[in-house]
Amino acid sequence: MTESARETLYFQSLDEAVELLYRRIDGPLHVGAPLGLGKPHRLLNALYARAEREPARRLHLYTALSLDPPGAGKGLEARFLKPFAQRHFGDDYPRLAYVQALKRNALPAHMEVEEFYLQSGALLNSQAAQSRYASLNYTHVARALADRGVNAVVQKVAADPSGSGRLSLSCNTDLTFDAVDAIVARGLPRPVLIAEVDPLLPWLDGSAAVEASFFDAVVTPPGPYPKLFALPRQPVSDADYAIGFHASTLVRDGGTLQIGIGTLADALCHALVLRHTDNAAYWRVLGALGYDQGGESSGAGVSARGGAASGDVDLSSTRNAKAPVAPLEPFRVGLFGCSEMLNEGFRRLVEVGVIKRKVVDDLDLMRRLHEGRADAADLERLERDGEYLQGGFYLGSQDFYDWLRDLPEDRRRGISMRRISEVNELYGGNETLERLQRHDARFFNSCMMATALGAAVSDTLDDGRVVSGVGGQYNFVAMAHALPDARSVLMLRATRDSGGETRSNVVWNYAQATIPRHLRDVYVTEYGIADLRGKTDEDCIQAMVAVAAAGHQFPLLEDAMRHGKLPRATYRLSDRNDPQRLRDALAPLRAQGALPDYPLGSDFTAVEQRLVKALGWLKANTAGGGAKARTVFKALFSSGAADAEAMQRMGLAQPSGFGEKIQARLVALALRETA
């Protein structure tokens, strides 16, 4: 049946939509659902409830990033989180029933959930989620769905506010089109497609919009409508800021930008904003990090080979002169944003005019533009029809969704939601066009750990448990090597606190790797930039040691020498790689307002912001037995004015009982320590 001939059914009842699935599909249901925001929570919960009642019909769900608001926790965490979660997510937010079952290890035997990307750390202890995780590059997911014989796809959509009857895949164009095409190309029946309309989902036109007849059924459940899932914006630490500003020196005006998610990405975006809007303040931050006006840093990595068989090798004053440091003036041409995920940072970059370079899907025009032969008509068309931001899915705060919803039409047209095969891949489409559009690309992503030989650990612990997933990281790393002027930049904090100990995130080796070392490119920690592309193992090790934290560098050198990767020598290291020195260097800039705690806005009230900082300090200072004892002792025997508003917010203004009184003392201490 052709799309134009297909009869689209309309429902208000979720149960009627589920009934359609059961009626149209014989045997097991193999249901695909988008990742993140585009997942139709209410429809999926209705499907789960039906499947629970009918164990004779197996249900296989294929999806990713099943978003679940944080649980209340216990103790001080519960006191803080419960009121915040009620306000931020709403009491009526439809938690996914299958996620709750996975967390309890109670998924019924006739149901199976297979995800290729997990909400970070949320399902580490779920046996079913861990065993049925599929490690897939984002661009290979559509093929995998065809392999599994997916016979239904359910998706949240937006309705055209003009009343045309068209629907927009809005936040998730990433996989639906690719998956349907892959399934049909395999010779399988076109899957049953059901859309759930959410009036709160922003409308995006262009490649995101389809006729209603694309779907077999459209369900518009009655209100009230729960809030869209919004990621709470987190505070940016000194280490995060140092990483973001180091990374920002690699971005070239007129180039292409891809960024991931999290506070490292937030810090990078703030650095780019400051570079454009207050270049003097931007340079003050770089100066604090050791850069001179030439854009080089005395602590930014290693470029010179220190290969003497004996004697001293000085790593303390080398600079990464071969790193792709760009001119660091404000952006004149601006950047083209092309990222699998659009988020808060892109909003800010568009607002201040950093993201503004436009592209069109016209090879001849892009070639003329690239060669400097574009005429007035070309430039007029570029301005009228060009796109400055392309993505496969979006996820962010309520402010971000409001921004998308309220954009003027001419500005909204410049945002194009596309298939993931177009955004994350060069091959299989118009490769020549995409190469012209994506010149001087910088692909920024985060990782958990990196080895001294250049492999990245981004998604899996050494015991095999999955924290998140590879997602599109490999795609962008590989693309950086395929484009002649592109770079992949993986950002990571030099250390982490674990079990009361500070451990290095730059390690000699690790049991799991997300990015193999033969694709090593650029790494950034708070202590600088390590440019590894094309380097020998010896040079890579020296560069990674130079950006590791003090106290963790010599063990790496010793491992390298023991395994014959470095010559036996005396290595002199910089004393700059110290967190206290970093805090001291950035403190004046914090006080001046150049480095705000929440550079992209906050979802916390003013008192909650103070509490977030205080509770973070408390967590760090009670991580081990000895540290906990010292902190409790200090709390019991120290005095000072209490933050009455914060104590009231935590329900500890008038503590009763010994336990509450200890909690009140600890919170009061933490607030004083972080004031």
What confidence tens digit (pLDDT) does each residue in 388-441 have? 999 999 999 999 999 999 999 999 999 999 999 999 999 988 999 999 999 999
Q: Are 98 and 111 in contact (CB under 8 A)?
A: yes
Backbone angles phi, psi at 655, to 5 degrees: -65, 145
Q: How confident is the model at residue 82 (pLDDT cuts 50, 70, 90)?
A: very high
pLDDT tens track for 317-347: 544 434 445 589 999 999 999 999 999 999 9
Q: How confident is the model at residue 295 (pLDDT cuts 50, 70, 90)?
A: low
Listed residue (487, 34, 462) closest to 250, CA to CA: 487
Residue 1 confidence (pLDDT) above 90 = no
The conformation of residue 459, written as its DSSP 8-state character, comes to S
- How confident is the model at residue 429, as a pLDDT? 86
- How confident is the model at residue 650, as a pLDDT? 97
- How confident is the model at residue 309, as a pLDDT? 34
CA distance 636 to 613: 20
Start-to-end Cα distance in the chain: 66
- How confident is the model at residue 326, as a pLDDT? 59
pLDDT tens track for 158-183: 999 999 999 999 999 999 999 999 99
- How confident is the model at residue 312, as a pLDDT? 59
Share of the chain above pLDDT 70, in %: 94
- How confident is the model at residue 235, as a pLDDT? 97
Query: String of b and e for 601-619 (b: at least 16 CB within 10 Å)?
Result: ebbbeebbbbbbbbbebbe
Comparison of pLDDT for 321 and 474, the residue scoring more? 474
- How confident is the model at residue 316, as a pLDDT? 67
Question: What are residue 503's DSSP bridge partners?
Answer: 496
- How confident is the model at residue 324, as a pLDDT? 45
CA distance 67 to 602: 20
Listed residue (286, 228, 301, 239) closest to 266, CA to CA: 239
> Can you list the domains of the chain with their CATH numbers?
9-219 (3.40.1080.10), 238-303+325-437 (3.30.750.70), 446-484+495-578 (3.40.1080.20), 605-673 (no CATH)
Q: What integer is the mean pLDDT of 438-456?
A: 98
Q: What integer is the mean pLDDT of 514-538?
A: 97
- How confident is the model at residue 165, as a pLDDT? 96
Dihedral angle computed from the Cα positions of residues 326, 330, 336 and 338, in that order, rounded to the nearest 10 degrees: 70
- Locate 598 and state its tokens: 């929440």
Q: How confident is the model at residue 269 (pLDDT cuts 50, 70, 90)?
A: very high
Where are the strands (E) in 6-134, listed by range?
Answer: 9-11, 29-32, 59-63, 111-115
Q: Please provide the average confidence, as pLDDT, over all residues in the chain.
A: 93
How far, CA to CA in Å, does 371 sit from each of 141, 143, 215, 368, 636? 37, 37, 43, 5, 71
CA distance 293 to 385: 38
Q: How confident is the model at residue 639 (pLDDT cuts 50, 70, 90)?
A: confident
Q: What integer is the mean pLDDT of 110-128?
A: 97
Q: What integer is the mean pLDDT of 607-622?
A: 94
Residue 500 confidence (pLDDT) above 80 = no
Share of the chain above pLDDT 90, in %: 88
Q: Are 141 and 175 in contact (CB under 8 A)?
A: yes
Residue 157 confidence (pLDDT) above 80 = yes
- Give burial (CB, 10 Å; 0-12/13-18/19+) of 409: exposed
How far, CA to CA in Å, does 235 sit from each of 68, 69, 277, 491, 593? 21, 18, 21, 17, 14
Residue 450 DSSP SS3: strand
- How confident is the model at residue 576, as a pLDDT? 87
Q: How confident is the model at residue 306 (pLDDT cuts 50, 70, 90)?
A: very low
Where are the strands (E) in 250-335, listed by range?
Answer: 256-259, 312-314
CA distance 22 to 43: 13
Q: What integer is the mean pLDDT of 10-26?
A: 97
